Structure 1
């Protein structure tokens, strides 16, 4: 997540810097920048370039400034408001699809503040379908279909959830609902380099003789891997599972792994992909060399040895496709590097 912190007073500025310092240690925060004063100009810039905005100022200033910028719940960034003493963190906009409510809880924990969340599902300790879409990187085909399903959640109306892939990780969110596993695709060893299956989840229920449906498509989620020579499957798996734990994403949600062509024969990477039954995409070294993104870090060691800036972040973003974004920065564990990207 890319986060902008905007403040207008000296105390707020200092609180913003404190939050920025704490978030710098979080590998799921790709970028965090602080902006001081020039509220209208900074909001205009941040609204179009960041996933979340933390406004440390009076809520009236935030509301009046952001109001002309609002487009729709599936496009607007998350907007949080914090008082300059850091006592309350308020989720103002895009609490579900934009991840604002989850970010509110995270920031509140970091600065020991009280989170203020007003969405009906959350205050009733339930989960909206749009919250699940945000947490697990699904795209809802028809945003207007969210409302009847969240009402069903609030009114304890069970619905049917169908998928050809393993979505057992969702059962804890929708207690009492019926899950149906549809026939899925199984990879053979010969498929593992070129088959990527993007699944869909179908939700449905009936009420007063009317049938409601909602479909979520998987956004392609890719784990990029770099490895020193001779690293084992266990080495790779430990790094992969550490990153996925940081994201709170199960391995069943991963669509593919990606590595660079000069590492295509590394047994540790190959065997880890076979163990997880996920395809391994091989990214040509020239494609990595020609790829540029401000979100990717640069390794002097890799640049000196191979003439490229890095491996795992670049491979993950290339495999995710045009418009894809990094959702977990590079981590290095015992000679293995891992990063995670998701498609647009």
Structure 2
């Protein structure tokens, strides 16, 4: 999922007017500005040959590309490079005089719609956004997922189906499963989420008339209700893991699955795994992070020591690592103290889960 970051923006301009506009924008947003050799000014980078060649070289190096030129030219330049909206950078086009800012590519997942609005506000341009949910003033399921750092099974097709249903006047319910966070007394950040057009459901036993239900939950199951249910799973569960050296990767993976299942947590909820610095190159942990497509976060003994004082001491672990436990203090730091369930200890592996939302 590609989210625009200010430090990862490239701008391409082809005319003296475009250069002046680029200078205005670069003073407001950190960016790399490209232009032709003949228009080069201090702080700008020259094209590597042609515009098309330059864009092809850097297309995947930035999270957002801004073109100060004609929309048609931009389309021809980027057409051979486009893959899908989940990996393409945001692309915004601005006319030479700065009258219009157009969201051209990756409006939702890439953040082009938001960037377009922001740029328009900076330079006094009219923002042009054409995605159907936006122009109909409706929430988009992919934006809601982005706001919650969430995912779902068959994400692309499900998002397409639900957004289309919303645009066509369908009634899509939204239910926040607060009980899945009850053990740590947390709530979903409902007030920060765009829910326009969604039917908010307070009681699953008293459903209004719906065509589908969007169920926000960490649980590994969905409720039995008389409408199709699509579960949106926030990625907020973290796992602190300690293990003996050269533990088989399959052992750690199976035990993590067992720990999640024991707490009825959907595996899609996993946001990251973590361990102590001495385990930074442990094959089983690196393999697990790759398998689950999550970051592997490591912590120094010094960083873990204050949290480790909260938990029982293993003399063996203390002798090897320098602190009396690993999985619990790691999970404590990763979740800001919001641990869930008991620590699993078996086969030379310890796993502690936490929730970081």
Specify the SS of the correspondent of 2:172. Answer: coil
Match of 1:178 among 181, 201, 221: 201
1:119 and 1:203 mapped to 2: Cα distance? 30
CA deviations 1:145-192 (Å, max 9, x no partner) are 1122112333150324344342223565245222579xxxxxxxxxxx
The answer on 1:169 being equivalent to 2:191 is yes
Note the 1:143-162 alignment, pairs <5 A.
Answer: 143-154=156-167, 155-162=169-176
The answer on 1:52 being equivalent to 2:64 is yes
The answer on 1:95 being equivalent to 2:94 is no
Runs of 5+ consecutive residues of structure 2 not aligned to the other structure: 37-49, 182-186, 205-216, 239-270, 278-296, 304-333, 336-355
Specify the SS of the correspondent of 2:139. Answer: coil
1:140 and 1:282 mapped to 2: Cα distance? 27
Note the 1:72-111 alignment, pairs <5 A.
Answer: 72-111=84-123
Match of 1:218 among 212, 222, 235: 235
Specify the SS of the correspondent of 2:228. Answer: strand
Change (3 A) 1:111 1:161: same
1:202 and 1:107 mapped to 2: Cα distance? 42
TM-score (norm 1): 0.52
Q: CA RMSD of the aligned region, Å?
A: 4.0
Change (3 A) 1:73 1:135: same
Task: Give the aligned partner of residue 145 of structure 2.
Answer: 133
Change (3 A) 1:91 1:218: same
1:218 and 1:199 mapped to 2: Cα distance? 8
Is the CA contact (8 Å cut-off) linking 2:139 and 2:194 kept in structure 1? no
TM-score (norm 2): 0.51
CA deviations 1:36-68 (Å, max 9, x no partner) are 143112212332111111111111111011011
1:58 and 1:151 mapped to 2: Cα distance? 30
1:99 and 1:117 mapped to 2: Cα distance? 12
Change (3 A) 1:135 1:49: farther
Task: Give the aligned partner of residue 34 of structure 1.
Answer: 33
1:162 and 1:177 mapped to 2: Cα distance? 9
CA deviations 1:216-241 (Å, max 9, x no partner) are 442789xxxxxxxxxxxxxxxxxxxx
Is the CA contact (8 Å cut-off) linking 1:160 and 1:204 kept in structure 2? no
The answer on 1:13 being equivalent to 2:19 is yes
Is the CA contact (8 Å cut-off) linking 1:46 and 1:53 kept in structure 2? no
Q: How many residues of Structure 1 are paired with residues of Structure 2 in the alignment? A: 212
Task: Give the aligned partner of residue 134 of structure 2.
Answer: 122
CA deviations 1:49-89 (Å, max 9, x no partner) are 11111111111111011011111111111111110100000
Greater RCO between the two (CA within 8 Å, min separation 6)?
1
Task: Give the aligned partner of residue 63 of structure 1.
Answer: 75
Change (3 A) 1:84 1:284: same
Specify the SS of the correspondent of 2:164. Answer: helix
Specify the SS of the correspondent of 1:71. Answer: coil
Is the CA contact (8 Å cut-off) linking 2:174 and 2:199 kept in structure 1? no
1:148 and 1:204 mapped to 2: Cα distance? 20
